[in-house]
Structures are given as structure tokens and as C-alpha cells.
């Protein structure tokens, strides 16, 4: 056994669904050297590697017969600050929300709408994390990743990441790139994005006029705390399904039968359907089967009431998918990474 590896480690504390599966091997990497060492040792021993950050976008359906490599690197810094544009960089293992708060405390604007998203900086580009009208692609300045096939370091600019809706090059090539650090282009001047959901109204209620970046962050945190279960109290991985983007005539057909359908026009002429609305209409909101359930306030979120297995949650997700397909003719795609 390699000195720093542990065996048969419960992953319960390492995934926000709180699923109790075991890793055959487990280790943590605090810097690039430890990442390289773990990957080299795994290669020598013919052991597969599963990289994890905060485990907030994972559904573990079985024991992991691999080395689970937990990215635990820390560090954040200002790279440049010129003419109102600030580039900041953070190590992959930095927890996301404290990093956002740090950037706001420095007086840097740009990440406020992405407040209170769980997980790490290194995983954020995987699905181009987004919330309340902002995605990381909007503030992205670059990242450094290790090519697990060749061992080479590579810097990626915006174009090379092929960011899409909850998607990226990295998500489409699982196991290839290990993201080591990410850079963001922020600003000393606020460009507020307030048109999404109840953000503007909440700021008015809070008397934050004109709003600061910190006030927007606070408003978004308060909205999220009201609607979303805290994984510390109730296991979940946030939205379990992506909002399906479908041709406009499909929405028109659904609207003929369901006038209240919620859908948003996309730049390419298609429409983004609110998956949560479809699931709620189909009667799943608050549904519970054993310890696997659909959250009572937000039907896009599957929850673990305690002892649900990943397979039970996956089974529930498949039942929901089949029902939505049958009732609306719409395919729901799962958002978390399934193992």
C-alpha cells in the first residue's frame, strides 16, 4: 500500500447527498506535486482514479473500486489589477462560496450572482456553474489543467473550454483533465444582473438602493436559503435535472394543454423549459419513497432523508424521467455526475 493512501474509506462526508459508499482507496492532494504523485502511483498499480472536490454534483450508486483523489489545495491571489479589470486566481480545492465572499471583500465585482453554490473552484468550470443569470463563462479569464493522459500542464482560454449550458469540454471528456487552478476577470465597477427571478424585488425589500455587489450576494443568499435544502441538514446535489432546451413548437404544443407552462426563449430560437415546473405538474413535488424523495419546496431537487442509497435515488430519477417523457414528450437529462 502507498503510504498516503487509506483503504475502504466511507465517502459519506465527501458527497452532499450523504451516500454511504466506500472508496477502495482514498487520498488527498494539497498541491500540484501531490496530484502528480497520486496519479503516478495509481498508474503504476493499475488503479483507476476518481477526482472529487466538494462532492456536491455527484451521485454515487455503488462502492468506488478506484482511488478517490480529493482535491484539497488552497490559495487565492490577485494576478493583475489594471484599468478597473482585476484578474484573480484560486487553487482548485478552494471552497467556492468563501472564495466568492473573499472577492467581494476585496471590492471586486462579478461573482455576486454565483453566491452560495457549494463545491470547489476546480469543479466550477466542469459544468460552467450558473445561477441567477450569470455563468462562470461570463467572468472567466483562464484555467490551468493537468492532462492525465500525457502528464502535461495546459492553459485554457475561454474559447478552448467550449462552455455551454451546464456543460464544458471538461465535462464532455471525463477523466482527461484535472483542473489545478482557475482565473476570473472581475471589475472594480458593478454591472448588476438583477432580472432573474426575485432578485430585484428582494433588493428593494432589503432597502439596498442602489445595490452593491455585496448586497446582491446577500439577497441571493437569502433567496437560496429559503428555497434550497442545506445539504448539512438534508442530503441533496442541487438541481437533479437540467432545464431542457427544446424547439419552440414543442413548447407551443405543451402550452395548448398546459397554459401555465414556464419556458424562456433562447438566443438560438429554441426555448428552455423549467424542468421543475414539469416535475411539479406531474405531481412529484414532495414525493417520498423510503428515504429517497423530491424536495417539498423545489421539485428539481432530489433529497436523501437519511439512509437512501445512490441506486434508490437513481431509480427515483428514472421514474421521474419516464413520467415526464410520457406526460409531456420531454426528455430530462440528469445533471449530477453518476458513478
Q: Which does 103 bind (CB under 5 to 8 A by kind): ligand FAD, ligand NAP, none?
A: none
239 is catalytic: yes
Q: Does 62 bind ligand NAP (CB under 6 A)?
A: no
Q: Does 167 bind ligand NAP (CB under 6 A)?
A: no
What grid cell was written down for 72? 484539497
Alpha-carbon distance 102 to 95, whole Å? 11
Residues 99-158 that bind ligand NAP (CB under 6 A): 130-132
Q: Does 119 bind ligand FAD (CB under 6 A)?
A: yes
Site size for ligand NAP (CB under 6 A): 18
**CB–CB of 113/134 below 8 Å?**
yes
* 3 state DSSP class of 111: coil
Q: Does 276 bind ligand NAP (CB under 6 A)?
A: yes
Query: How would you classify the pairing of strands 58-59 and 337-338?
Result: parallel
Residue tagged 473500486 (cell numbers):
65
Q: From 86-94, 252-260, 269-277, 306-314, give the range in contact with ligand NAP by CB under 6 A.
A: 269-277
What is the closest distance, in whole angstroms, from the C-beta atom of residue 222 to ligand NAP in the complex? 12
Considering the complex, state which of residue 106 and residue 222 has its C-beta at the smaller distance from ligand NAP: 222
Q: Report the DSSP beta bridge partners of residue 140.
A: 184
Q: Does 236 bind ligand FAD (CB under 6 A)?
A: yes
166 is catalytic: yes
Q: Which does 274 bind (CB under 5 to 8 A by kind): ligand NAP, ligand FAD, none?
A: ligand NAP
Q: Which does 16 bind (CB under 5 to 8 A by kind): ligand FAD, ligand NAP, none?
A: ligand FAD
**CB–CB of 299/280 below 8 Å?**
yes
What count of residues does the chain have? 339
Closest CA to 264 of 272, 256, 252: 272
Alpha-carbon distance 9 to 60, whole Å? 14
Residue 204, Cβ neighbours under 10 Å: how many? 12
What grid cell was written down for 114? 454565483
Selected catalytic residue, list 166, 181, 183, 202: 166
Q: Report the DSSP beta bridge partners of residue 265.
A: 271
What is the closest distance, in whole angstroms, from the C-beta atom of residue 159 to ligand FAD in the complex? 19
The residues that touch ligand NAP, with contacts defined as CB under 6 A, are 130-132, 195-197, 227-228, 238-239, 243, 264, 272, 274, 276, 298, 300, 335
Positions marked active-site: 166, 239, 335
Amino acid at each position: 500500500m502507498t503510504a498516503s493512501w487509506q483503504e475502504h474509506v466511507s465517502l459519506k462526508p465527501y458527497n452532499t447527498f450523504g451516500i454511504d459508499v466506500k472508496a477502495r482507496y482514498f487520498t488527498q492532494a494539497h498541491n500540484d506535486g501531490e496530484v502528480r504523485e497520486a496519479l503516478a502511483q495509481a498508474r503504476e498499480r493499475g488503479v483507476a482514479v476518481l477526482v472529487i472536490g466538494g462532492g456536491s454534483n455527484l451521485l454515487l450508486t455503488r462502492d468506488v473500486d478506484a482511488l478517490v483523489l480529493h482535491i484539497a489545495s488552497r490559495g487565492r491571489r490577485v494576478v493583475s489589477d489594471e484599468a478597473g479589470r482585476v484578474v484573480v486566481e484560486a487553487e482548485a480545492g478552494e471552497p467556492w462560496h468563501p472564495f466568492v465572499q473573499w472577492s467581494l471583500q476585496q471590492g471586486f465585482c462579478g461573482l455576486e450572482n454565483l453566491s452560495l453554490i457549494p463545491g470547489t473552484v476546480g469543479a466550477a468550470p466542469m459544468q460552467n456553474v450558473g445561477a441567477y443569470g450569470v455563468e462562470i463563462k461570463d467572468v472567466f479569464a483562464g484555467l490551468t489543467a493537468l492532462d492525465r493522459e500525457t502528464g502535461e500542464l495546459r492553459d485554457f482560454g475561454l474559447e478552448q473550454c467550449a462552455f455551454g449550458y451546464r456543460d464544458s469540454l471538461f465535462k464532455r471528456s471525463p477523466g482527461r483533465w484535472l483542473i489545478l487552478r482557475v482565473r476570473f476577470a472581475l471589475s472594480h465597477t458593478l454591472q448588476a444582473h438583477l432580472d432573474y427571478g426575485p432578485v430585484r424585488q428582494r433588493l428593494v425589500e432589503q432597502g439596498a438602493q442602489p445595490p452593491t455587489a455585496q448586497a446582491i450576494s446577500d439577497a441571493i443568499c437569502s433567496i437560496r436559503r429559503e428555497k434550497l435544502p442545506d445539504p448539512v441538514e438534508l442530503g441533496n446535489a442541487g438541481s437533479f435535472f437540467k432545464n431542457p432546451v427544446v424547439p419552440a413548437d414543442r413548447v407551443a404544443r405543451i402550452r395548448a394543454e398546459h397554459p401555465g407552462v414556464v419556458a424562456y426563449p433562447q438566443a438560438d430560437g429554441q426555448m428552455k423549459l423549467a424542468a421543475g415546473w414539469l416535475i411539479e405538474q406531474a405531481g412529484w413535488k414532495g414525493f417520498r419513497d423510503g428515504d429517497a424523495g423530491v424536495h417539498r419546496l423545489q421539485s428539481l431537487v432530489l433529497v436523501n432523508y437519511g439512509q437512501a442509497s445512490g441506486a434508490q435515488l437513481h431509480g427515483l430519477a428514472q421514474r421521474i424521467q419516464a413520467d415526464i417523457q410520457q406526460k409531456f414528450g420531454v426528455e430530462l437529462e440528469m445533471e449530477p455526475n453518476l458513478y
